[in-house]
Amino acid sequence: MPRVSQFFGVVIYLYHNDHHPSHFHAEYGEFEVVYTIETMEILRGRLPRRAHNMVVEWALMHRDELRANWRLAREQKPLLEIEPLD
């Protein structure tokens, strides 16, 4: 599972050739959640509130890059690193 970003203990992944809707995975310790890229809806899982808020903030700032990486992943191409949350 290719890692595209990491910040404050949160790791963001996208799988190659994953199912629709476009989404990404966020892990924080033993927690994992899957968010849609377009609406930030949680498809499954949960994160502690603080980690969730950081992921949403980061994803809203980098939605275009997430969309681009989703397309690359669907095409089985290498993914681009996305700037972490500061």
Average pLDDT over residues 48-74: 97
Please check the confidence at residue 1 and state whether its pLDDT lies above 80.
no
47 within a domain of the structure (yes/no):
yes
22 within a domain of the structure (yes/no):
yes
Residue-range definition of the domain harbouring residue 53: 3-74
23 within a domain of the structure (yes/no):
yes
In whole angstroms, give the CA distance from residue 59 to residue 24. 9
33 within a domain of the structure (yes/no):
yes
Residues above pLDDT 90, as percent of the chain? 93
9 and 28 Cβ atoms separated by less than 8 Å: yes
9 within a domain of the structure (yes/no):
yes
82 within a domain of the structure (yes/no):
no
pLDDT at residue 19 in the model: 87
- Within the chain, how many helices (H) and strands (E) appear? 2, 5
Could you report the per-residue pLDDT of 21-33, keeping only the tens digit for each? 999 999 999 999 9
The domain total for the chain is 1
11 within a domain of the structure (yes/no):
yes
List the structure tokens of 46. Answer: 């949960």
30 within a domain of the structure (yes/no):
yes
